[in-house]
Structure 1
């Protein structure tokens, strides 16, 4: 098992498979690097595919501090430097998208060649004239209630959270959902609370116009997390963006329609 030390001395697990142009996949809240197993298997035949466990997740160290978007973006930078990478495609799912936007805030698009956002809004909480948060209208009150529920009874939250990742029709596969349940149950409550608090307090709308590399925006048509209106907004704000919908998928589209997603990201990188 390979680890690198972030510059605050936290041990972070990573895997590298294949050779070629580098792609780093960043997983979402409560998940881990193995969620991208269907991408690694296929894409590593022609690309250098890097997956890793966010701090506090998977088999990475679970610290008491640094469970923030600010620090997690620095971890991405540390990983890129550790592997001496350049011209990287960064692909982030859900909270992974948030981490990429924080990377752009701190480092612009340095070392990057492409970005792929997977089913996520640039601002989680809806307020004022912003009605494109999670689920569209995810208010401050909704957010506080969610944080209280996660802190109070995380196992109960899992029972509704995991099914919500998948389409209610189409590609829902029981084996995949059972596997996701098993993986999500491995989390530590303080980690998931701290990460959610940090993520939900961010507003990355201004960062969209600062993206200077080609960007692929992907969304599951049955996703409750990211609305069509949100993707239209992101596509308009990012200078060189392309948006693709996945008709048979929910939030976890790369697991639900892996063949289409893998084909789309290859075509995007090679364009």
Structure 2
């Protein structure tokens, strides 16, 4: 089990398999690298694939330090440097995309060959003239209620959110299994990074993503409904859109073979 010690002493868990053009898969909020189980092995047949558990998540260290997108982006940069990756493709699902955009904001496109965004908006909260907030509408009141539920009745807010991630409702057993994985992230950590992400507005960063970007979006996403992919494609310097008709928020899990083939083709370009 490979661990990388971060500058503050926190152990960062990652897995490294395959050879070829490197791709780093970054999971979503309260998730971990195991969620790429259908993607990493077949992708590693032609690429070097690194999956990582962000700090506070999965098998990585649990710290009391302020959990922010900036800290997570700095951790990813440290990982790239430690593994001597100079031409990596960063692929982020949900919060993973926010981490990538924060990386670009703070470090430019250093060590990046390309990026992949998987069903994520650069701005969660309702704002004047903004058509793509979380769940199609997410006010500060919604945020406060979610935060209260997360702190005091975590299953009551997280299990419905897990269900909403899929185009077709998963079974109760699947929801329970996913929820169990998410509990590896302590509640205080989950709340801290959620609040930081919810208040972030990463739209100004988009023109700075000067490397090619693959936008993978589920056409049945309840988490980010509407043509967010089209909006992003119009604001990124070099973007291509891959729409998944049978997917919601998690195309890599809902249409895994097509997702892997799409990503493999993008990496080969």
Aligned length: 269
Which residue pairs with 1:259 in the alignment? 257
Which residue pairs with 2:193 in the alignment? 195
Unpaired runs of at least 5, structure 2:
none
Q: Pairwise CA RMSD of aligned residues?
A: 1.5
Structure-2 change in CA distance of 1:41 and 1:177 (3 Å): farther
Hey, what's the Cα distance between the residues in 2 that align with 1:112 and 1:4? Answer: 20
CA contact (8 A) 1:155 1:185 kept: no
Which residue pairs with 1:218 in the alignment? 216
The offset of 1:178, in angstroms, is 4.9
Hey, what's the Cα distance between the residues in 2 that align with 1:159 and 1:92? Answer: 22
Matches within 5 A, 1:72-111: 72-111=72-111
Deviations 1:191-246 (A, max 9, x none): 11011011111111011111111101111111111233322211000011011111
CA contact (8 A) 1:166 1:250 kept: yes
The offset of 1:250, in angstroms, is 1.1
The offset of 1:75, in angstroms, is 0.4
Find the residue that maps to 1:237 and give its secondary structure. coil
Structure-1-length-normalised TM-score: 0.95
Moved more, 157-166 or 12-21: 157-166
Which residue pairs with 1:156 in the alignment? 156
Structure-2-length-normalised TM-score: 0.95
Unpaired runs of at least 5, structure 1:
none
Large movers: runs of 4+ above 3 Å: 172-179
The offset of 1:159, in angstroms, is 2.3
Hey, what's the Cα distance between the residues in 1 that align with 2:140 and 2:229? Answer: 22
Hey, what's the Cα distance between the residues in 2 that align with 1:131 and 1:240? Answer: 22
Find the residue that maps to 2:208 and give its secondary structure. coil
